[in-house]
């Protein structure tokens, strides 16, 4: 197969675009798609400072690489969650640090256990009713948002690609979770001084394209998935959508892009429904819908109460 742009041997065929490209043209095409998403969804301006949330995986490291190639002032943040199975967290931290060194870029590293006293698996074990991934997501969102606001970044960028977004959309649509559907967007503007603007510049790209990009660019990323993500329902939905894609190339893209179009035109949900009343957490000051403490602060609070009960029981038993 030949590259449609220059006629050299193609390295990738993207059936949904009816486009085969050689290595060189593909490496130019991917940043073009990202730039189009940035402009189309008004994510940030050329002189804005952007904070990229890097997990050490292919998507977020490629995103960082692309933003730097496009000339954006992009720093990174890596959150060490303390997941030690297969040294998952330490290994991914090394990948993020190695990238930062190689590119001469700034990386903020935040170690959850060092800063808050416990790793994610430890907190999750003590906190009933919330899964490890749920706890992890809550902690990551809080830390990233806090850093982005305090350090004055214009936007916080994550490496979610179109497959991620389509799978979440599928899940939300299956449950008609209208609140989540209303908030699922490539850009969430800063609706409060302590809420960072959140952007997903890779939404136009399939996961397969991101894997090819990382490979062709020679980006050294962690291949292993988080041990807690095994059997996750979103992975199942991704597989289902990929089956659909095999039969009907472009189906995944249409599903997601038509949703965005309907959402933006207000055809999907009444826009007023999207307004939420926000107060401030009495401990950390971050916006919350809860009356006193935000969910993040409650996480450590409940844990402390459980710990107290535990140590009280231990002391009583010792008598």
Which residues of this protein are in contact with ligand FES, per CB under 6 A?
Answer: 81, 132-133, 136, 226, 228-229
Residues paired with residue 186 on neighbouring β-strands, in sequence order: none
Q: How far is the CB of 88 from ligand FES (least distance, A)?
A: 8
Q: How far is the CB of 312 from ligand FES (least distance, A)?
A: 30
DSSP string, 148-165: HHHTT-SEEE----HHHH
Distance CA 76, CA 103 (A): 11
User: Measured from the CB atom, is 34 or 53 closer to ligand AMP?
Assistant: 53
With CB under 6 A as the contact rule, the residue among 78, 213, 255, 300 that binds ligand AMP is 78
Torsion of CA 155, 159, 163, 169, to 10 degrees: -40
C-alpha distance across the termini of the chain, in Å: 79
Site string for Zn ion, 246-285 (x = CB under 5 A): -----------------------------------x-xx-
Residues for the chain: how many in total?
Answer: 319
Site string for ligand AMP, 39-58 (x = CB under 6 A): --------------xxx---
In 128-202, which ranges are E strands?
155-157, 187-188, 198-199
Q: Within 13 Å and on the Cβ side, how many CA atoms surround 218?
A: 2
Q: Is 121 in the site for ligand AMP (CB under 6 A)?
A: no
With CB under 5 A as the contact rule, the residue among 145, 297, 299, 303 that binds Zn ion is 297
Binding site partner of 29, from ligand AMP, Zn ion, ligand FES, none, Cβ cut-off 5-8 A by kind = none
Cβ within 8 Å of residue 182, ≥6 positions away? 263, 269, 273, 274
Q: How far is the CB of 23 from ligand AMP (least distance, A)?
A: 24
Cβ within 8 Å of residue 255, ≥6 positions away? 166, 169, 170, 241
Is 141 in contact with 284 (CB distance < 8 Å)? no
- Rule CB under 6 A: which of 80-109 touch ligand AMP? 81
User: Measured from the CB atom, is 14 or 79 closer to ligand FES?
Assistant: 79
- Rule CB under 6 A: which of 123-152 touch ligand AMP? 140
With CB under 6 A as the contact rule, the residue among 77, 181, 182, 295 that binds ligand AMP is 77
The H or E element spanning position 50 is strand 49-53
Q: How far is the CB of 79 from ligand AMP (least distance, A)?
A: 4
Q: How far is the CB of 135 from ligand AMP (least distance, A)?
A: 13
Distance CA 170, CA 173 (A): 5
Binding site partner of 93, from ligand AMP, Zn ion, ligand FES, none, Cβ cut-off 5-8 A by kind = none
By the criterion CB under 6 A, which residues form the site for ligand AMP? 53-55, 59-60, 77-79, 81, 140, 158-160
By the criterion CB under 5 A, which residues form the site for Zn ion? 281, 283-284, 294, 297
């Amino acid at each position: 197969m030949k590259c449609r742009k220059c006629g050299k041997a193609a390295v990738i065929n993207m059936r949904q675009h009816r486009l085969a490209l050689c290595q060189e043209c593909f490496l130019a095409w991917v940043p073009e798609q990202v730039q189009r998403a940035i402009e189309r969804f008004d994510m940030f301006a050329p002189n804005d400072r952007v904070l990229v949330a890097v997990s050490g995986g292919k998507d977020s490291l490629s995103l960082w690489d692309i933003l730097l190639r496009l000339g954006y002032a992009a720093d990174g943040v890596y959150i060490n969650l303390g997941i030690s199975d297969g040294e998952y967290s330490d290994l991914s931290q090394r990948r993020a640090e190695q990238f930062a060194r190689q590119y001469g870029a700034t990386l903020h590293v935040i170690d959850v256990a060092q800063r808050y006293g416990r790793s994610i698996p430890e907190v999750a074990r003590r906190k009933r009713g919330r899964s490890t991934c749920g706890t992890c997501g809550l902690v990551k969102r809080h830390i990233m948002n806090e850093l982005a606001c305090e350090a004055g970044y214009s936007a916080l960028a994550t490496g979610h690609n179109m497959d991620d977004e389509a799978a979440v959309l599928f899940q939300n649509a299956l449950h008609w979770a209208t609140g989540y559907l209303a908030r699922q967007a490539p850009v969430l503007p800063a609706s409060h001084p302590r809420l960072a603007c959140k952007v997903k510049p890779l939404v136009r790209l399939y996961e397969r394209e991101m894997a090819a990009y990382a490979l062709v660019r020679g980006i050294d990323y962690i291949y292993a998935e988080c041990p807690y993500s095994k059997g996750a329902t979103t992975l199942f939905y991704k597989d289902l959508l990929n089956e659909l894609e095999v039969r009907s190339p472009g189906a995944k893209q249409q599903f997601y892009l038509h949703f965005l179009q309907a959402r933006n035109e207000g055809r999907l949900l009444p826009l007023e429904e999207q307004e939420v009343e926000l107060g401030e957490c009495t401990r950390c000051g971050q916006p919350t819908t809860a009356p006193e403490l935000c969910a993040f602060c409650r996480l450590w609070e409940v844990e402390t109460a459980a710990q107290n009960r535990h140590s009280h029981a231990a002391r009583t038993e010792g008598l």
